[in-house]
Copies of this chain bind each other. A is one copy, B any other.
């Protein structure tokens, strides 16, 4: 039986996330993996989660096990809205929904907004999970390079001038995935101004923003939004734990109205137990202190990895210097394909994310790669970076 003629066009050419594939490949082996995308697992509040959940089940019984409403568990929405307020997110025209991770939030926005052939401006490089989601609605991706202070806004304007099919600009403005770079306040304002001028939306994805370990906070793009042009996505994946799959989405009620219907047919609602657990954790524990502690660890590990890069990498490799988050972006001399180096590295028991997987065109070779510093121990960072440095030296 031929299955190929049964598939929808939107998915036939879609490729599995290379990062997820790398994850499967190195997950069970003795490879030192810098390919991860989560904060230090030893900081996840496993014990607290266990106790909270037991209590919820004992005291609430079936309350946490029946169907919930699609918008989310009301007490958790309240907490999210309160926290959002502190960073200027959530205007009088906005609503908030709890999602099954930030990934679902991105995907719901894609489904609610993107017709086939609609354009999305994305950062080059960007987060593969979002790029793939947009691709899965047959959107056209327009990529714009990320500079030291974030996306090149002049290029964004050029693209918007030339292409009237662009629905929104997708940006991770703070401690960007994969570069760790933060979009400057000037460029944030500029981006919103351009979006207004060409009547397009902005999708502001901010899963890492709370993990700052140096420098001053930069206002969210959403905080300047006075008309519902910015769709804001946040997550508990990086501040609590990724496996619980709890994120959120705040946007104009007219968009939310469609997002809710799309979520309804997608998974009805986000697991009630997980929503209640997050809610109770924040009520019973000092969440901000927890985040502060996690950020401090991120900072220490980041500093260590940068130090190792200086020590072990060839001098010609440029490495970013983020103020927060969990990623470093490394740029090798032009002409080198880190996809090739990746295979060699895995042989030597060390892994990173090849740059091409983070690009709109995943088939073009890339001279860059992403490193995560939070999921492995300090000893393994030192060990892995030394191995990695040795391999890199063979290629420059």
Q: Which residues of A contact B (CB under 8 A)?
A: 1, 3-4, 6-12, 14-17, 20, 23-24, 27, 37-38, 41-42, 44, 46-47, 49-51, 53-58, 60-62, 64-70, 100-101, 103-104, 107, 111-116, 118, 129, 132-133, 136-137, 167, 201, 227-229, 241-245, 252, 254-255, 258, 260-262, 264-274
Q: How far is the CB of A139 from chain B (nearest CB, A)?
A: 10
Question: Is the contact region of chain A dominated by helix, strand, or loop, or is it mixed?
Answer: helix
B residues in contact with A100, CB < 8 Å? 100, 245, 267, 271
- Contact residue among B37, B55, B62 (Cβ-Cβ distance under 8 Å from A241): B62
Contact of A68 with B264 in the complex, beta carbons under 8 Å: no
- Among B50, B61, B103, contact of A46 (Cβ-Cβ < 8 Å): B61
Copies of this chain, how many?
Answer: 2
- Are A104 and B267 in contact, CB atoms less than 8 angstroms apart? yes
Cβ of A130 to closest chain B Cβ, rounded Å:
8
The closest CB in chain B to the CB of A70 belongs to B20
- Tell whether, in the assembled complex, residue B264 and residue A129 are in contact, meaning their CB atoms are under 8 Å apart: yes
- Contact yes or no, B67 A14, CB < 8 A: no
The answer to whether B264 touches A245, judged by C-beta atoms less than 8 angstroms apart, is: no
Q: Does B243 lie within 8 Å of A273, measured CB to CB?
A: yes
* Cβ of A2 to closest chain B Cβ, rounded Å: 8
Q: Which of A65, A103, A113, A136 has the most chain B CB atoms inside 10 A of its CB?
A: A65
Contacts of A112 in B (CB 8 A): 7-8, 11
